[in-house]
Amino acid sequence: MYRILKAEKVADKIFLMVVEAPRVAEYCQPGQFLIVRNDEKGERIPLTICDYDRERKTVTIVFQIVGASTLMMSMLKAGDCFHDVVGPLGLASEFITDPIEEVRKRRYLFVAGGVGAAPVYPQVKWMHENGIDCDVIVGAKTKDLILLEEEMSRVAGNLYITTDDGSYKRKGMVTQVIQDLYDEGKRYDVCVAIGPMIMMKFVCLLTEKLGLPTIVSMNPIMVDGTGMCGACRVSVGGKTKFACVDGPEFDGHQIDWTQAMERQQLYRTEEGRAMLAAQEGATHHGGCGQCGGDR
């Protein structure tokens, strides 16, 4: 059992929890994720590791209510326990394994949309701890949905906040902030964009025009987190990849965004899942328990 030390609501339908998970905390790196289960028969819920404390042996997760399982999860309090916490899963961010001297030469721009602030934060924190200042853009629909502003301000070189409705700081999409920074003469070597798929798509369309290499984190539907079910299939540079084992981070300019977004929508219905199985043939694993291919 994995005890919850802290549980709080940080925005509408968005919650933060600090959980005792010694082995995950010991080995996890920015970019990776974990899977939790509320109880023995519960659904497997993949969540990005928002933060970790190796000394206290804890990990921090942020999640949004999107269904029955996350609704039940939101009702847990400090002192309650998860039945399972599995991780770290996925590959760490590329800069973790790059020579630190090379990383320090690069100018990084991080772009977070909505709950995407959770996976962006540990990456920016790692940069800060290694003496690297990064520019960070955090965007949300409205002021009440801005996440981790205080934490991000402590580790970002420059923090730019924008809201769709103009209720806080700038008004507009994150793409407009990117363009504004370029118009002001700012230049970057790498952009890391994490958030809703539609946001990442339009960030990549812009950065490709700007000649700015861009990394995205693909967090579509995941089930087992080990590459066996095929639910997180994504096409990168014409090749089939699985976000849980080959990612979750990929070259955003190589993603087939049309296919990824259509697949995300189709997976929500029984008819759509059957269509995917027919379209993908032998490459469709069918072991996710969601599409009928395992029957």
Average pLDDT, the chain: 87
95 in Cβ contact with 107 (< 8 Å): no
- The residue-averaged pLDDT of 191-206 equals 95
- The residue-averaged pLDDT of 212-234 equals 77
CA–CA separation, 110 and 108 (whole Å)? 6
Instruction: Give the domains, in start order, of the chain with CATH numbers.
Output: 2-89 (2.40.30.10), 99-217 (3.40.50.80), 221-295 (no CATH)
CA–CA separation, 81 and 30 (whole Å)? 24
Q: Give the percent of the chain with pLDDT over 70.
A: 86
The four Cα atoms 260, 266, 268, 269 give a dihedral, to 10 degrees, of: -170
pLDDT digit string (tens) for 124-168? 999 999 999 999 999 999 999 999 999 999 999 999 999 999 998
Whether pLDDT at 23 is above 80: yes
- Reported confidence tier of residue 270, pLDDT bands at 50, 70, 90: very low
pLDDT of residue 279: 58
pLDDT of residue 133: 94
The DSSP output letter for 291 is: S
pLDDT of residue 282: 61
Encoded tokens for 181: 């920074």
Amino acid at 266: L
82 in Cβ contact with 74 (< 8 Å): no
* 3 state SS of 113: strand
pLDDT of residue 221: 60
- Reported confidence tier of residue 184, pLDDT bands at 50, 70, 90: very high
pLDDT of residue 271: 42
Whether pLDDT at 284 is above 60: no
Most confident of 50-59, 64-73, 164-173, 227-236: 50-59
The secondary structure of 185-207 as a DSSP string is T---SEEEEES-HHHHHHHHHHH
- The residue-averaged pLDDT of 257-285 equals 63
Q: Which residue has the tokens 């042996």?
A: 57
- Reported confidence tier of residue 278, pLDDT bands at 50, 70, 90: low
pLDDT digit string (tens) for 48-62? 899 999 999 999 999
pLDDT of residue 295: 47
- The residue-averaged pLDDT of 43-50 equals 88
pLDDT of residue 207: 97
Whether pLDDT at 34 is above 70: yes
* 3 state SS of 117: helix
